[in-house]
Structure 1
Amino acid sequence: MNLVGPCGAFGAWGPLDRADPPHFNSMKSNMGSLHTLRKWLLAKTLGFGVTLLCLGGATATSALAKEPFDFLPLPEQAKPVAEPAEGYRLQRVGTNGYVVMSGVVQANFFVTKTGVVVVDAPPVLADKLVKAIKSVTDKPVTHVILTHDHADHAGGASAFPGAKIVAHALTAELMRVYPDPKRPIPTLTFSGARYDLKVGGTHFQLIYPGPNHETGNIIVYIPEQRIAMMTDLFAPGWAPYLGWGNADHIPGLLKSYDALLALDFDVFLAGHAYRIGNRHDVEVSRAFFLDLWNWTKETIAATPFDPSKAEPGNLWLAQSIWFKEIADKVTPRLIAKWGNELAAVDAFTHSTVMAVVVSTFTDAPNIPDSALKP
């Protein structure tokens, strides 16, 4: 596929095929070939995202429409669900809980005896969340629990003035770095691993398993209703987003899975995708994590780093080629095993493998072998 656009020095993009990278030793004296290598690395390593940014939305959409890519179809369990005229779906969970869904974004609220407790407030749902609450009760929103600081889940909190904003102290600390009026600084925070919040007869356990998707990202657990919530750990029925959702601490994801599975729950609410989740979804996503982590580690050991594939001294380029070689080996294995069960395994997995490669060297966690078994 040839995509041509206003990409500055890179000019036209070459075919995005599965060809091997040009070897640096064959082009040391040819700057045009170096240019070819850079184009190839950008196209293959950064993928279509760079191309889309370079071309601009309309042109990119047109190009993609003319030549569709050959990706795996979505499994039935992961397909989108039609939305009613209101523009959102409202699903009851537990005895007093509701999930508001629009597109792939979700938020939750619980109607207690004394008021409404909201868990996360995505900005794209802010108006819909307010409407959904009013369709169920005239009680005021007294608390907004923020699982973490990211704007796509906290950026609608200002729609509930007067409510107590509840979060981990680490989340509040992050939100103070660049204050955002759309994300009010939490007024009720806790430190450490757990906080019990009781509102109008409903018991919310706020559990911090350690850094994971984001520092401060917490589990919200309602034991009496067997409901567990953790936003952005994964989307039920889906493979991970790019770089496992740009995870702050990839090894900490495993701790989060294990902390969740230590709880007694049937319903799992994840903040994203087209349906609510369950315990089996958590188990499946953990199993995918183990395959991704273990196979990446095995492949690193079996794939020697060869700096001669880049210009002497250009460690960035040499490592990017090596990362890609590892991801090229791991990704097909993951697609072969998980492609029929999880959605979009062939979308971001290649880049996620490379993120795991970096994590194994920088985070370098001393994970016990027993923890890396199914």
Structure 2
Amino acid sequence: MCPSSQKPITATDEPEFFGIDHYGFPRSGHDDPADPTEYYPPYFRSEHFQRFGYHVQQLRGGFHWVTSGGYDAAFVVTDDGVVVIDAPPTIGENMLTAIADVTDQPVTHVVYSHWHTDHIGAAAVYGPGVEIIAHRITRELLERFPDPLRPLPTTTFDDDHTLVVGGTTLELSYRGENHCPGNIFIYAPAEKVLTAIDIVSPGSATFMHCDASQNITGWYEAQKQVLSYDFDFFVGGHHMHFGTYSDVQACVEYFADVLDGATAAVERFSRSDALLSVLDGGGWDRVFVGTENWINSMANFTTKYVLEKQTSDGRLWWERLAGVTSQTKYHAYTVLESIRLERPRPNYRLSGENPPVFLT
């Protein structure tokens, strides 16, 4: 996985659970650490942002990034109009204001990254005359669950679609379900800007439960797919920052550590002795309590591993990424459940054997 000075953990390592507080964080003799100071950029405390609630910044050429401090979107100014990517309700009509700040060109095209309301729930602000491009699955979902504020796409595709407007090219690709079905990659090759929403959030550990993603194995695969692109700027959909390639690498390293810790936790606590020690004496009416303790023990094991690990640059994760102390246990739970549900089992119960081989 990722380089580290920490000794690799194995299924036989015994965690020191008395070193974890009631939030699941390691007790270290100091208060829970705050987010890194560099996480909050200058615009966040600017008079304009405090008054209007948005910030727009040119990344390269006509490609612009727009943020509300919690949600991101983008637009590209071309010779023949403006192409917009997404429409978060938290930005809302400020998308139009941000565009007007830099050009008088009209919005002609809108690209939906995926169907979720928190990213395209204000798309109606662009008006009825725009061309809306999205993956076929996104249209199917919006047809099934109609919303007048999320107009149906007018152009759909299955695998790849190249959008050329006013000499500017955007390459749209669907590389399988990740955060949700239909979530696409949007790449501007000339500007070297990649937009991939809800995969990683530059500078942070992203929102809880792997950003509420549906296919965690696919979501991890998407992180590798992101790094296969040649980009200088990354738009991730959330938080305070656009990212650089190295920013994205840091996020991918963090979640690799979560996977390492969760994998070891599942192996350790799926042994028959560990499982029975949690369930023993519970009785039939205490099974769900025992199961909760079992899952919680795995989540604590994973959280302790991640928060105490020295990362590739020598710092701890809470010193590098925002949200680590508050979000890691949520990620740990989600990832360990994905291991149990989505990834191959080492074995299965054979006839006449109890307990199963993979629990011994």
With the length of structure 2 as denominator, give the TM-score of the two structures.
Answer: 0.79
In the alignment, is the contact (CA less than 8 A) between 2:35 and 2:318 conserved in 1? no
- Partner of residue 298 from structure 1, selected from 246, 264, 268: 264
Deviation at 1:177, TM superposition (A): 2.2
- Partner of residue 349 from structure 1, selected from 298, 303, 328: 328
In the alignment, is the contact (CA less than 8 A) between 2:200 and 2:252 conserved in 1? no
Does residue 324 (structure 1) correspond to residue 296 (structure 2)? The answer is: yes
Deviation at 1:346, TM superposition (A): 1.1
AA at the equivalent of 2:266: I
Deviation at 1:318, TM superposition (A): 2.6
Deviation at 1:206, TM superposition (A): 0.8
In the alignment, is the contact (CA less than 8 A) between 2:62 and 2:78 conserved in 1? yes
* Deviation string, structure 1 residues 165-193 (Cα, Å, up to 9, x no partner): 1111111122222111111121111112x
Query: Cα gap change, 1:177/1:320 in structure 2, threshold over 3 Å: closer, same or farther?
Result: farther
AA at the equivalent of 1:77: E
* Deviation string, structure 1 residues 191-214 (Cα, Å, up to 9, x no partner): 12x221111111101122211111
* Deviation string, structure 1 residues 198-235 (Cα, Å, up to 9, x no partner): 11111101122211111111111011111111111121
Q: Name the counterpart of 1:74.
A: 35
* Secondary structure of residue in 1 paired with 2:66: strand
C-alpha distance in 1 between matches for 2:84 and 2:187: 13
Deviation at 1:19, TM superposition (A): 8.0
C-alpha distance in 2 between matches for 1:231 and 1:215: 12
Query: Cα gap change, 1:224/1:365 in structure 2, threshold over 3 Å: closer, same or farther?
Result: farther
- Partner of residue 138 from structure 2, selected from 141, 154, 171: 171
Does residue 103 (structure 1) correspond to residue 73 (structure 2)? The answer is: no
Does residue 288 (structure 1) correspond to residue 258 (structure 2)? The answer is: no
Which structure is higher in RCO with an 8 Å CA cutoff and minimum separation 6?
Answer: 2
Deviation at 1:262, TM superposition (A): 1.2
C-alpha distance in 2 between matches for 1:118 and 1:294: 38
In the alignment, is the contact (CA less than 8 A) between 1:121 and 1:157 conserved in 2? yes
Unaligned runs of 5+ in 1: 1-17, 21-42, 48-68, 367-374
Query: Cα gap change, 1:310/1:189 in structure 2, threshold over 3 Å: closer, same or farther?
Result: farther
Deviation at 1:254, TM superposition (A): 2.1
- Partner of residue 363 from structure 1, selected from 338, 342, 346: 342
In the alignment, is the contact (CA less than 8 A) between 2:36 and 2:322 conserved in 1? yes
Higher helix content, 1 or 2: 1
Deviation at 1:313, TM superposition (A): 5.8
C-alpha distance in 2 between matches for 1:319 and 1:199: 55
Deviation at 1:360, TM superposition (A): 1.0
Q: Which moved more, 1:237-246 or 1:71-80?
A: 71-80
Does residue 224 (structure 1) correspond to residue 180 (structure 2)? The answer is: no
C-alpha distance in 2 between matches for 1:345 and 1:310: 34
Aligned pairs for 1:154-233 (under 5 A) are 154-161=120-127, 162-192=129-159, 194-233=160-199
Deviation at 1:334, TM superposition (A): 1.1
In the alignment, is the contact (CA less than 8 A) between 1:108 and 1:120 conserved in 2? yes
Deviation at 1:316, TM superposition (A): 3.7
Deviation at 1:314, TM superposition (A): 5.2
Deviation at 1:90, TM superposition (A): 1.3
C-alpha distance in 2 between matches for 1:302 and 1:213: 28
C-alpha distance in 1 between matches for 2:138 and 2:108: 20
In the alignment, is the contact (CA less than 8 A) between 1:292 and 1:353 conserved in 2? yes
Does residue 308 (structure 1) correspond to residue 280 (structure 2)? The answer is: yes
C-alpha distance in 1 between matches for 2:243 and 2:289: 41
Query: Cα gap change, 1:315/1:167 in structure 2, threshold over 3 Å: closer, same or farther?
Result: farther
* Deviation string, structure 1 residues 345-373 (Cα, Å, up to 9, x no partner): 1112112211112111222269xxxxxxx
C-alpha distance in 2 between matches for 1:299 and 1:118: 43
Deviation at 1:77, TM superposition (A): 2.8
* Deviation string, structure 1 residues 90-111 (Cα, Å, up to 9, x no partner): 1111100111122222110001
* Deviation string, structure 1 residues 79-134 (Cα, Å, up to 9, x no partner): 25224143321111110011112222211000111110001100121211111111
Deviation at 1:311, TM superposition (A): 3.9
In the alignment, is the contact (CA less than 8 A) between 1:309 and 1:318 conserved in 2? no
Query: Cα gap change, 1:365/1:178 in structure 2, threshold over 3 Å: closer, same or farther?
Result: farther
Count of residues paired in the alignment: 304
AA at the equivalent of 1:168: H
Does residue 273 (structure 1) correspond to residue 245 (structure 2)? The answer is: no
Unaligned runs of 5+ in 2: 1-16, 310-316, 346-360
* Secondary structure of residue in 1 paired with 2:76: strand
AA at the equivalent of 2:228: A
In the alignment, is the contact (CA less than 8 A) between 2:261 and 2:303 conserved in 1? no
Aligned-residue sequence identity (percent) comes to 32
